[in-house]
Amino acid sequence: MTTSVDWTYLQKELAKPFPAEVISWRAGAQTRDKKRAQALPYAEPRVYEDRLNDICGGNWSVTFKPWGDNRIICELTVFGVTRASTGEENEGFAPGTAAEAQAFKRACSKFGLGRYLYDVPIQWIDYDSEKGKLLETPSLPARFIPQVSLDTTPRLSTDRAEAMRLELEKLGYASLSHPALVEHATGRKVATLNQLSEAEALEVWSYAKRMQAKAA
């Protein structure tokens, strides 16, 4: 039993803004007197990795390939679909690492992940050109801050979700069919099993067993 991934739902989840506290700012273009600079928002690669882990579980991977003397190609695969982008070395600290981070985040944006950061309105901030730092920390507009969820229901641990995945596969449900199975059983859309509560997991398991019995 297999079905395609619900990409509309998946990309919607991936595209949600990151928590405001993980957003940092760097200086972009500067005024002629170098006293003000554009404030550009960004998040570290680990923030992107955390989002992929939360939404896609183990269904994503990444590879890097050299391209020319100072560029890198990142190939990001999510649920079997691969999209790629490039990054370039710079003259700062650890240029190779910076190129990987740039390529990775650009590839992520092709799945909608972190793309919203390109849409944050430009803000001009006082700038210390000698220290190369912004003198203020900008604020994100409200529409770029995720809504606080009041749902405190405990979710399945990674180990528990993996155990459930294996048991469902024994029943004949391939991993790609799990989101559809959950929707049929609970009426709720999820991208991965670790987004389920324990009660929902039991409901899904009971539904899967019933469907197996009917098919026998």
pLDDT in tens, 20-54: 999 999 999 999 999 999 999 999 999 999 999 88
From CA 142, how far away is CA 81, in angstroms rounded?
A: 32
User: CA–CA separation, 162 vs 82, rounded Å?
Assistant: 23
What is the structure's pLDDT at 149?
55
What's the chain's average pLDDT? 87
* Separation in Å, CA 6 to CA 55, 56, 111, 119, 180: 12, 12, 13, 25, 8
- In angstroms, the CA 155 to CA 200 distance is 9
Give yes or no for residue 140 having a pLDDT over 70: yes
The model's pLDDT over 94-128, given as tens digits with 9 standing for 90+, comes to 555 889 999 999 999 999 999 999 999 999 999 99
Q: Which residues contact 191 (CB under 8 A, 6 or more apart)?
A: 6, 9, 10, 13, 55, 56, 57, 179
Q: What is the pLDDT of residue 88?
A: 85
Find residue 72's DSSP bridge partners.
Answer: 66, 87
Q: Mean pLDDT over residues 63-92, rounded?
A: 88
Neighbouring-strand partners of residue 88: 71
Instruction: Place 203 in a pLDDT band, splitting at 50, 70 and 90.
Output: confident
pLDDT value, residue 1: 36
Helices (H), 2-111: 7-14, 45-56, 95-109
Output the pLDDT for position 148. 60
pLDDT given at position 152: 61
pLDDT of residue 94: 54
Given a cut of 50, whether residue 191 has pLDDT beyond it is yes
pLDDT bracket for residue 3 (50, 70, 90): very low
Residue 91 is predicted with a pLDDT of 56
**2 pLDDT tier (thresholds 50, 70, 90):** very low
What is the full DSSP assignment across 156-207?
--HHHHHHHHHHHHHTT--GGGHHHHHHHHHS---SSGGGSBHHHHHHHHHH
